[in-house]
Amino acid sequence: MDQVAESLARAIGARVKQERKGRGWTLDQLAAAAGVSRRMLVNVEQGGVNPSIGTLLRLSDALGVGLPALVEPPAARTAKITRRGEGAVLWTGDLGGKGVLVAGTGGPDVVELWDWTLAPGERHESEAHADGTRELLHVQDGTLTVAVDSESYEVATGDALSFYGDIAHAYINRHDEPARFSLTVFEPGVGAAHRTEIPNA
């Protein structure tokens, strides 16, 4: 990991640990609630791994906080500006693409704003998110193919697409030029499945 990625991994680890301890949960309890291995959770909390977006979503849902809450410190109820280059890079492609979380809200109804770039030939697979999740994307440059379940949509510069993100989906650049798009994700009731009971150790 480079220095920026290491710093982000440490911040995420500290926040996950803070949220877990604030609930009085053991590592085993959070691992069970999130459906991740204890070893992965230990590595995340120690800042020794840059977890996948899927892992972060499972942890944020189990903790009942939004993904943005895991990548930035709690803020007072004021406006928050994210300057160019300050977003959390949560995905990097083998060919140079990036998924950057630039802004978001707290739970239980979470809204995330992303800035994505896919290099020619890159593909990002996304697991199904929580029930009711909606995604809206707007292509700023290039052409993007979005696969949702068994359907495929080609979205060109200036086009927008909205779809349910609670089924598996993928973003694909099948063209010779980079594709850049903004993505807004709405996840209602984050953590609702974990609020009524503490998972067993």
Q: How confident is the model at residue 197 (pLDDT cuts 50, 70, 90)?
A: very low
Q: At what angle do helices 27-34 and 3-22 cross, to 10 degrees?
A: 100
Range of the domain at 44: 3-75
The domain boundary residue, chosen from 43, 75, 107? 75
The arithmetic mean of pLDDT across residues 43-71, rounded, is: 85
Residues 147 and 56 in one domain: no
In a domain, 200, yes or no: no
Residue 156 has pLDDT above 80, yes or no: yes
pLDDT single digits (tens) 127-145 = 898 899 999 999 999 999 9
Cα(first)–Cα(last) distance of the chain, in Å? 32
Q: Which stretch of DSSP H or E encloses residue 120?
A: none
pLDDT single digits (tens) 10-37 = 888 888 888 888 888 998 999 999 999 9
Length of the chain: 201
| Segment 73-82 long-range contacts (CB within 8 Å, at least 24 positions apart) | 73/11, 73/15
The pLDDT, as a whole number, for residue 73 is 61
7-23 burial, b at 16+ Cβ within 10 Å, e below that, comes to: ebbebbbebbbebbeee
In a domain, 194, yes or no: no
